Amino acid sequence: MALFGYDVTIPNEVPSYKDLVVTLNVESGLKIAEARFYLLPERSDVPQYAKFTEKNGKWTTVIPFEYLRGEELIYYVQVRTTGGAISRIPATGSSKARLVPDTNPPKLTLKSPETKTLVRGKEQMVVFQIIEDSETRTFLLDGKEKALVVS
């Protein structure tokens, strides 16, 4: 445990396409009144925070992936004990983790045309079902990058 009786464990690389679940590890006997996870959004000097909630003795918070933008997650944790003492990790400054983008393409299944063949020279609508989503929103068609339209 850290100097103040609590710490958080965040990996050095965080997927930017999934919600981040942060757990506050608390030393036995430490009574917490409130705990917050602060993060500095990309291109902003104003930190945003998420409150930890306690359930069955475990303190957690979830950072939605929409807030995990840019190249780095810059964060710190602040805790207020039931005795009124306020502390933070790190004591000054902030911690960082590298944000890793989703590079895996979505998994698709061809739904239409049912014959799974296209007729040359005839305009046809092609429909895919998304089996596993991805944050990748472009694909190559004839060597040119095209936007993936999801509807």
Which value, in Å, is the radius of gyration of the alpha carbons in the chain?
22
Identify the DSSP state of 45: S
b vs e for 53-71, b when ≥16 Cβ sit within 10 Å of the residue's Cβ?
eeeeeebebebebeebeee
* pLDDT tens figures, 65-112: 989 989 999 999 999 989 999 999 898 889 999 999 887 777 778 888
Residue owning tokens 């694909």: 139
Q: Is the pLDDT of residue 124 over 80?
A: yes
The whole-angstrom separation of Cα 82 and Cα 85 is 8
Q: Give me the mean pLDDT over the 10-32 stretch.
A: 90
- The angle at the Cα of 139, spanning 133 to 144, to the nearest 5 degrees, equals 170
Cβ neighbours of 92 (radius 10 Å): 6
What is the average per-residue pLDDT within 19-31?
A: 89
Work out the pLDDT band at 141, boundaries 50, 70, 90.
low
The answer, yes or no, to whether residue 1 has pLDDT greater than 50, is no
Per-residue confidence band for 115, with pLDDT thresholds at 50, 70 and 90: confident
Instruction: Measure the CA angle with vertex 128, ends 122 and 131; round to 5°.
Output: 165
